[in-house]
A and B are shown apart, each in its own frame.
Chain A
Amino acid sequence: MDKTATASPNAPKTLIGQRVKKPDAPDKAAGKTRYINDMVLPQMLTAKVLFARRPHARIVRIDTTAAAKLPGVHAVLTGADAAGLHFGFVRDNVPLKDKVRCEHDAIAAVAAETEEIAQQALALIEVEYEDLPGVFTPEDGAREDAPQIHDNFPGNRSLHFAFKHGDLAAAEAASDVIVDNVFRPHYVTHCCMGTSCAIADFDHKGKLTIWTQTQYPYNYKMDLAPALGMHPGDIRVIQPPVGGAFGSKLDVYPYEPIAALLAKKTGRPVKLTYTREEEFRASPTRQSAIIHMRTGCTRDGTLTFRSADVLLDNGAYTSWGPTIPVIMMRTTSGHYRVPVVDFKAQAIYTNNPYAGSFRGYGNVQTTWATAQQMDMLADQVDIEPLAFHLKNAQLSGETTPQKSFLRECALVECLQTAAAASDYSRKRKEYAALRDAPGRYKKGIGLASSIHNAGGAKIHKSDGIGTILKVDDYARVTVISGASEIGQGIDAVITLIVAEELGVPLEHITLVNNDSDIAPWDVGVHASRTTFIAGNGTRRAARKAKAQILAGAEKLLGEPAADLTLREGAVVRVQDGKEIIKLERLLRQMHFQAEPELVMVTDYYEPKSEPEGAAHSSDHSAAYAHAVHIAEITVDTLTGEIKVDKVTVAQDVGRVINRMGLEGQIEGGLAIGLGYALSEDMRIEQGHLRNACFRDYKLITAPEMPPVEMHLIESDCAEGPYGAKGISELPTIVIAPAIANALTNATGVRIFTPPMTPEKVARAIVEQRRQASAPQAAAQLEGATA
């Protein structure tokens, strides 16, 4: 695209790339927004869940008689009420359990007039358990004599994935250097500030309305239906404002069908809300993994192969967590030019909590490994890392072994920009030279990059979106879009695009996107897809409306439509900008005439991408993008504390749409990545979570957020709206290995299991010193005896 075109004096002002305020921000800042957690309906009952709080057990006896008799209690349900209501990817879950497979299994639920009564009722439920031996690591779960967790999944084997490309043995033989490590990405959780909440209500035709935090309303109906023994068509999903989601609401979790089952039983609306402690225990985690990765290169620094053998702790049930190999393999095969790839992954059931999807889905874990091995390889072949990265960086037009077509690839530009802006190569050399110098505080700099889908990911049969757009007699626009809003700012993007296309003020645009009975199909907010997919859908719908309006102007006013455009609430001539008619006046004339017409258009947009397929060899996204992070840190070698002094980000964003929203996504994504890297850690021991509170599970706070220098690289994606690519996951993906590489630069130690807590770093430094001094001590000892 000709970037100078906008410089012409007659060119209209474009909103693309401007800073647009989030339309819902004023009410949110005022405390006026009614979140789902704030909602109260007439006659509404409060539900509470009895969790097993033991990892593996048979329920010998459960007696709810006393609970049911408590005044104010309207229903008590147990596993017997949910028999046969199997749901989940492999139908291994039920809303209420008759056997305990993890500590947060719901074994009974109560609906009562108040929370206090519901709580009292839970205490009256008598349960007798027979504890069973548990499985707490995937290695243990895979053993032949391991206890069986699900009868119909022999050997505790859950999902498995594989992808091979090229001759691995030959590539290994051709390698001068091979790095071979085991990385153990850990458990973290989303920590949405608004805890999980659902409100369910049935009408007398048997239709369920569920108010929920879901970020995928349409497939949600399909996934919720079997948990209730219902037809998906009889479910209406309403999405009130939510306190964050980050991937945690991309599946059905038991509390949602439990609320619905209680509503069905009582005939009243039922609300179920988690406490923070319940949220920590019972909401999904990020998938942990054991990644045995090998990467090879020749002495001149050319990558020869990458292999990954991945073992996943499936936890007790199968949600999105164990499906992450779909993206793990894309990174394994596509992070730099890797000619030969061998990827395999197996998920094993355990009695641990189970993972869902979480921003950066699979790529956070894989980039933790690939980006560290790139750093190690550069050192082993003694090539300056930037040069090593550049040598292996893909260029526009290349295709990865899995057939990801990198039509517009800005990896080289990202690398060069970030490295130049941070003076990376010089600092890295300088800090490495000072590593063994005296002094408690050491500086380090680390570079990491990654690749991610940036135009959706066709893992479902469709990756499309429906859009309905109407313009009323007053030139007020309503966009009815399938795109969900979870705080990320698609509301700002959609209104910006409509304003851009139709020349109406931002305040004159209303977005309706939270009711499955009104808005058309969308896959959901995931895979960094929404600006790309909904942006395209909105633009297409707006352009159809514009064409109809300009045709109306031609018909009524005799000016050729091709000479006209819409600007500042009016129809204007393109050539001289002269106003022909106010838009709202034209719309009324079109409406109230002999051949009346309303401006109402629909659009269905399906991106040009290929279904993932069982062979995992397809161009599954309509675009791909890269980001480079350079972290500058100071390490206190005594305490092991890492202070991140600065992060330089260079990211291929295709084209900036809403600059303010984009910056916010990068900063926010980075904060989640920083927590992953430095402090967040679910301590799960024998199936029990030991730190289910913010005091012991440390999120990044305001003082820990480093300055971020941002370079937005505009590669101008041919398929993206105005050239934009999806952007929101890469910031979370890249930062942890950048810090890990900086830690090695500063101290020489390398951490394979995040987070890089002071304790872990200090331990590694002590161990390194012990090993370094051991040969010396041995030599001294030898000298003494000789």
Chain B
Amino acid sequence: MMSVETEIRFMLNGREVALTVPVTMKTLAMLRERLDLTGTKYACGEGECGACTIEVDGRTVNSCLMYAVDCDGRQVTTIEGLRTPQALHPLQQAFVDHGAVQCGYCTPGMIMQARHLIENRPGLTREDVQRGLEGNLCRCTGYTKVLDAVQDVAAQRAAGCAGAGAD
């Protein structure tokens, strides 16, 4: 009944980690149960809700669907990797400032997906953000304030880039 275990090594939130995991273990379980990173949430376990969204090698994935062994050799970022000890990431702060957090259970996954959108899609329209967050379910907010927060940060970034370009 014991499953086969494998040793893996990968970069997690900028630090190298090495551990042995069962080959059947999902990344979500590894993060939560083995690495104490409980910011990534379980809400469906089958890739339908986005609460467990993390970034792997620059792509967002549902960590409930990805085997832990597949993290080997990759760059993994979770919600805990966004802030510094002193300050929240601008998106995290925007979620706070815009009232985009109610129960907050979907928030980490929502922020991970939003960050990916902002970093990869310049000139985000509201529709882009809506489409980009379609796979992240929220039962509390009705999404409106989430979209406001993401658009605000996207606009700030665009303004910042425009400013830099002008210089």
A18 at the interface (CB under 8 A from B): no
A241 at the interface (CB under 8 A from B): yes
A672 at the interface (CB under 8 A from B): yes
- Asked if B105 and A34 sit within 8 Å, CB to CB, the answer is no
B57 at the interface (CB under 8 A from A): no
Given contacts A193-B51, A672-B139, A699-B139, contact A241 B99 (CB under 8 A): no
B73 at the interface (CB under 8 A from A): no
- Asked if B102 and A193 sit within 8 Å, CB to CB, the answer is no
Given contacts A193-B138, A693-B46, contact A702 B101 (CB under 8 A): no
Residues of B within 8 A of A243 (CB): 41, 43, 103-106
Sampled A-B contacts (28; CB under 8 Å): A19-B99, A25-B101, A28-B104, A29-B96, A29-B101, A30-B88, A34-B38, A38-B32, A193-B43, A193-B137, A195-B43, A243-B106, A246-B139, A276-B44, A276-B45, A487-B102, A487-B103, A487-B104, A660-B98, A664-B140, A667-B142, A668-B139, A671-B142, A699-B137, A701-B137, A702-B129, A702-B147, A705-B143
Instruction: Output the least CB separation between A328 and chain B (Å).
Output: 24
CA distance A30 to B95 in the complex (A): 10
Given contacts A29-B92, A667-B141, A668-B141, contact A702 B44 (CB under 8 A): no
B48 at the interface (CB under 8 A from A): yes
A344 at the interface (CB under 8 A from B): no
Q: How many B residues, CB 8 Å from partner?
A: 56
The 7 closest A-B pairs by CB, nearest first: A31-B39, A487-B103, A28-B104, A243-B105, A31-B79, A667-B142, A671-B142
B27 at the interface (CB under 8 A from A): no
CA distance A34 to B36 in the complex (A): 11
Residues of B within 8 A of A480 (CB): none
Residues of A within 8 A of B88 (CB): 26, 29-30
B4 at the interface (CB under 8 A from A): no
CA distance A693 to B97 in the complex (A): 33
A191 at the interface (CB under 8 A from B): yes
B15 at the interface (CB under 8 A from A): no
Instruction: Output the least CB separation between A772 and chain B (Å).
Output: 37
The residue of chain A having its C-beta at the shortest distance from the C-beta of B33 within the complex is A40
**Contacting residue for A244 out of B39, B44, B140, CB 8 A:** B140
- Asked if A33 and B137 sit within 8 Å, CB to CB, the answer is no
- Asked if B143 and A702 sit within 8 Å, CB to CB, the answer is yes
B63 at the interface (CB under 8 A from A): no
A695 at the interface (CB under 8 A from B): yes
Instruction: Output the least CB separation between B45 and chain A (Å).
Output: 6
The residue of chain B having its C-beta at the shortest distance from the C-beta of A31 within the complex is B39
- Asked if B101 and A693 sit within 8 Å, CB to CB, the answer is no
CA distance A275 to B44 in the complex (A): 7
- Asked if A701 and B78 sit within 8 Å, CB to CB, the answer is no
B146 at the interface (CB under 8 A from A): yes
CA distance A82 to B134 in the complex (A): 44
- Asked if B143 and A32 sit within 8 Å, CB to CB, the answer is no
A21 at the interface (CB under 8 A from B): yes
CA distance A700 to B140 in the complex (A): 11
Chain A residues 635-689 with CB under 8 Å of chain B are: 660-661, 663-664, 666-672
- Asked if A30 and B139 sit within 8 Å, CB to CB, the answer is no
- Asked if B41 and A244 sit within 8 Å, CB to CB, the answer is no
Residues of B within 8 A of A32 (CB): 39, 80
**Contacting residue for B139 out of A22, A244, A670, CB 8 A:** A244
B59 at the interface (CB under 8 A from A): no
Chain B residues 101-118 with CB under 8 Å of chain A are: 101-108, 111
Q: A192-B103, A243-B106, A660-B145 are in contact. List 20 more A-B contacts (CB 8 A).
A: A29-B92, A29-B96, A30-B82, A30-B88, A32-B39, A192-B105, A193-B137, A194-B43, A243-B104, A244-B102, A487-B102, A664-B140, A664-B141, A666-B142, A667-B144, A668-B102, A695-B46, A701-B134, A703-B127, A703-B130
B60 at the interface (CB under 8 A from A): no
Most A C-beta atoms less than 10 A away, residue of B45, B46, B139:
B139
**Contacting residue for A703 out of B42, B103, B134, CB 8 A:** B134
Residues of B within 8 A of A192 (CB): 103, 105, 139
- Asked if B39 and A668 sit within 8 Å, CB to CB, the answer is no
A37 at the interface (CB under 8 A from B): yes
Residues of A within 8 A of B102 (CB): 22, 244, 487-489, 664, 668
Residues of B within 8 A of A190 (CB): 139
Residues of A within 8 A of B83 (CB): 30
CA distance A285 to B98 in the complex (A): 31
**Contacting residue for B140 out of A38, A275, A666, A668, CB 8 A:** A668
- Asked if B145 and A663 sit within 8 Å, CB to CB, the answer is yes
A35 at the interface (CB under 8 A from B): yes
CA distance A669 to B141 in the complex (A): 8
A498 at the interface (CB under 8 A from B): no
Instruction: Output the least CB separation between A36 and chain B (Å).
Output: 11
**Contacting residue for B96 out of A22, A38, A486, A703, CB 8 A:** A22
The residue of chain B having its C-beta at the shortest distance from the C-beta of A696 within the complex is B48
How many chain A residues sit at the interface, stated as a range, is 35 or more
- Asked if B95 and A702 sit within 8 Å, CB to CB, the answer is no
A380 at the interface (CB under 8 A from B): no
A126 at the interface (CB under 8 A from B): no
- Asked if B40 and A694 sit within 8 Å, CB to CB, the answer is no
CA distance A438 to B1 in the complex (A): 66
Residues of B within 8 A of A38 (CB): 32, 38
Instruction: Output the least CB separation between A701 and chain B (Å).
Output: 5
CA distance A462 to B70 in the complex (A): 56
Chain B residues 15-42 with CB under 8 Å of chain A are: 32, 37-42
- Asked if A24 and B141 sit within 8 Å, CB to CB, the answer is no
Residues of A within 8 A of B106 (CB): 193, 243
Instruction: Output the least CB separation between B72 and chain A (Å).
Output: 22
A708 at the interface (CB under 8 A from B): yes
B76 at the interface (CB under 8 A from A): no
Most A C-beta atoms less than 10 A away, residue of B45, B78, B129:
B45
The residue of chain A having its C-beta at the shortest distance from the C-beta of B98 within the complex is A660
**Contacting residue for B99 out of A21, A669, A699, A708, CB 8 A:** A21
- Asked if A241 and B104 sit within 8 Å, CB to CB, the answer is yes
- Asked if A244 and B105 sit within 8 Å, CB to CB, the answer is yes
The residue of chain B having its C-beta at the shortest distance from the C-beta of A191 within the complex is B139
CA distance A486 to B140 in the complex (A): 10
- Asked if A35 and B44 sit within 8 Å, CB to CB, the answer is no
- Asked if A276 and B46 sit within 8 Å, CB to CB, the answer is yes
Residues of A within 8 A of B136 (CB): 702
CA distance A9 to B133 in the complex (A): 45
- Contact indicator per residue, chain B 135-164, by CB within 8 Å of chain A (1) or not (0): 111111111111100000000000000000
Most A C-beta atoms less than 10 A away, residue of B80, B88, B99, B131:
B99
CA distance A37 to B80 in the complex (A): 17
CA distance A104 to B92 in the complex (A): 39
Residues of B within 8 A of A33 (CB): 104
Residues of B within 8 A of A193 (CB): 41, 43, 49, 51, 103, 105-106, 137-140
Instruction: Output the least CB separation between B87 and chain A (Å).
Output: 10
CA distance A700 to B83 in the complex (A): 30
Residues of B within 8 A of A487 (CB): 102-104, 140
CA distance A672 to B142 in the complex (A): 8
- Asked if B99 and A31 sit within 8 Å, CB to CB, the answer is no
